[in-house]
Structure formats: C-alpha cells, structure tokens
Amino acid sequence: MDIPPVVPPGRMRALPRTVLGLPDGWLLRHWEPYDAPALVASGTDPDIQRWNRTGRFTEARAEERIARYRANWEAEEAAIWAIAPEAGGLPVGLIGLADLDLAGGSGEILYWLMPAGRGSGTMVGATDRVSRWAFEELGLHRLRITHSVANPASCRIAEKAGFPLEGTMRGALLHADGWHDEHLHARLRTDRPVRH
C-alpha cells in the first residue's frame, strides 16, 4: 500500500511568508540582506560558536548565508526566521526548522540568541510559535530538538516549550572538545498545547 506524503510537495513553498508575532515586543520575520551584521556578530559569541558551531562570517559570507536561507525555503529544505524587535532593528537571534522530511512529517528546531536577547524567556515563546506554525500551517507531525547534554539552558528551553526528553544519543555530535552525547526531545502535533 502506498503511504501518502504527510506534507505534499509544494505546500511549504505556497504558504504566505507572514511575520509571526511573539510576546514582549519581539517577532519572527525573514532574514534580510541588511541583517548581515547580526550574523557576523553571532560568529563572535563564544556560546553560539560552542553550541551551534556556526563558524565565523565576513559580511559577504553572512549575506550569502541569508540568500541561502531564502533559497532553502523555496526548495522546501529549511524554514529559518530572525528573532527581531517589533519596533525594528537588527535580529538578536535565529530560530528555524531544518533537516525537514516533509514526506515523513518531521523536522528539527534550531535556535540561538545573542546575549542581548537572553534571560527573558523569548526562546520558549519563539519555539512554541514555530512549532504551532509547523503543525498547524505546514502540517508536520513530529518536531525534535537535540542539544549537547552539557548545555542545560537548551534543555530547559526544550522542556518548557513542550518537548519532553526522549533519551540520550551517545557520541552524537562532534564539538571543538570532542564528541558529545546529545539529548533528544520531541513534540508531536497531537500533544497538548503548552502554557507559558
């Protein structure tokens, strides 16, 4: 028996690229070429480098990366947003869906915040907002978050955004100081909504 794709090809590309609102004066919007300095700054933050392994950017490489975010969306391979002030200005963070398997109905949430965006619960709200978009608008069935077991802040974000811990993946990701075990967290479309 043929199993139909959970999300048919073309559905993601056809979705309107709307801004997603967040509480407390933040929103999720698409990365624009003029946001390149924010990516350059992310390359100088030791915590983002340690945990997200994004590498350093020149302004030109940052612009290329932003162009790639747009191309990846068009190709239905990833959906990446900037976390930016509602009032305008440079992003303080990034959140997105990567490793998308539309036919299988799953994807992985990635995120980081610069120090200016940390400490106020913004990422819990952003993770919940992107999850609801992924389930309700895109139609995915399962989302996961993975992080090094040595990163307790990311573990708390996952738990608080409705992604309970499912297990530990041994030697799952190579960091600058060697292989790290990673926690696997996941949220299903059928899980109860999160209160935060």
Ligand X SMILES: CC(C)(COP(=O)(O)OP(=O)(O)OC[C@H]1O[C@@H](n2cnc3c(N)ncnc32)[C@H](O)[C@@H]1OP(=O)(O)O)[C@@H](O)C(=O)NCCC(=O)NCCS
Residues in touch with ligand X (CB under 6 A): 47-48, 51-52, 111-113, 118-119, 121-123, 147, 151-154, 156-157, 160
Residue 79's nearest CA partner among 172, 141, 11, 146 is 11
Strands 93-101 and 106-113: antiparallel
Of the pair 79, 123, the CB lying nearest ligand X is at: 123
Q: Which is closer to ligand X, CB of 106 or CB of 148?
A: 148
CB of 101 to ligand X, least distance (A): 20
The Cβ of residue 19 has, within 10 Å, a number of other Cβ atoms equal to: 12
Tokens standing for residue 124? 């819990």
Nearer CB in complex with ligand X: 23/33: 23
Q: Shortest CA distance to 20 belongs to which of 84, 106, 107, 90?
A: 84
Min dist CB 113 to ligand X, Å, is 4
Smallest gap from Cβ 106 to ligand X, in A, equals 17
**Smaller CB distance to ligand X: residue 17 or 156?**
156
Nearer to ligand X, 7 or 186 (CB): 186
The whole-angstrom separation of Cα 29 and Cα 146 is: 23
Closest approach of ligand X to the CB of residue 44, in Å: 13
DSSP readout, 37-77? HHHHHHTT-HHHHHHH------HHHHHHHHHHHHHHHHTTS
Task: Give the shortest CB-182-to-ligand X separation in angstroms.
Answer: 9
Q: Are the C-beta atoms of 91 and 32 separated by less than 8 Å?
A: no
